[in-house]
Amino acid sequence: MTRLQYTGFVLPNNVTDVINNAVEVVTACKIFFAYNSPWWKTLNLRNVVTDLPNRQTIDFGTGANGKAVLLAGYGDMDITKYWHELQNRGNNISCSNANFCPSDQVVSHMNKLMAEEFNISLGVIPSPIDGAIIFWDAPPFHGAWESWRAGYDWGVISDAILKPMAGEDLYIATGAYGPLDSSQWIEMALRQADNVIDRYF
């Protein structure tokens, strides 16, 4: 990918401050396991939202070949560190994308959590045949979505950021500085892009 370079612009301090400080990134992680079959369906188990560290477990579907994927855990904020610690221990299981293989510590810990949340015995949970663990906590993304910091007026900034310098053809169309907590949803990114086009083109 060709990355945009901003060398032609000298951003005034107030714009730089807004870009760097008005919002902070929220980290997140997702942990997927694949199995030879959807073992949870035979036990009549449903999607779960929990206060355990995996936070939620969601049936991600069964393919035509019968193999099935479970989003075993999906959490944000401090829970991301929790799983990153576990990922840094033990050995990775073998998986189809070497960049995202979960560690055996992640697998065994997740199995204990699933046994607890589903109220089943550990023995009925099979070993995954594949898996992926993905963190949004480091470059290039740094985080999954954004949340506003105190002291910044989203009503003003979400408009001003669209064209932050009157005399320059610089436009920032992202959901990250959208008003309210809707900045965390794709609708806000689309709305901000629409606003740039409607107002300036």
Residues that bind ligand FAD (CB under 6 A): 3-4, 28, 136, 144-145, 174-176, 185-186, 189
Nearer of residues 87 and 125 to ligand FAD, judged by Cβ? 87
Nearer of residues 121 and 198 to ligand FAD, judged by Cβ? 198
Work out the number of other CB atoms within 10 angstroms of the CB of residue 193: 15
Phi, psi of 141 (to 5 degrees): -90, -30
Strands (E), the chain: 23-26, 28-35, 48-49, 56-62, 68-76, 130-136, 145-148
Answer for the pair 113, 125: CB distance below 8 angstroms, yes or no: no
CB of 125 to ligand FAD, least distance (A): 25
As beta bridge partners, residue 139 has none
CB of 50 to ligand FAD, least distance (A): 18
The two counts, helices (H) then strands (E), for the chain are: 6, 7
Nearer of residues 166 and 186 to ligand FAD, judged by Cβ? 186
Alpha-carbon span 155 to 138, nearest angstrom: 29
Alpha-carbon span 179 to 153, nearest angstrom: 9
Nearer of residues 58 and 129 to ligand FAD, judged by Cβ? 58
CB of 183 to ligand FAD, least distance (A): 7
Q: Give me 148's structure tokens.
A: 């506003």
Nearer of residues 118 and 136 to ligand FAD, judged by Cβ? 136
Q: Collect all residues with Cβ–Cβ distance below 8 Å to 100 and sequence separation of at least 6.
A: 131, 132, 133, 134
CB of 31 to ligand FAD, least distance (A): 12
CB of 4 to ligand FAD, least distance (A): 4
CB of 117 to ligand FAD, least distance (A): 21
Nearer of residues 110 and 161 to ligand FAD, judged by Cβ? 161
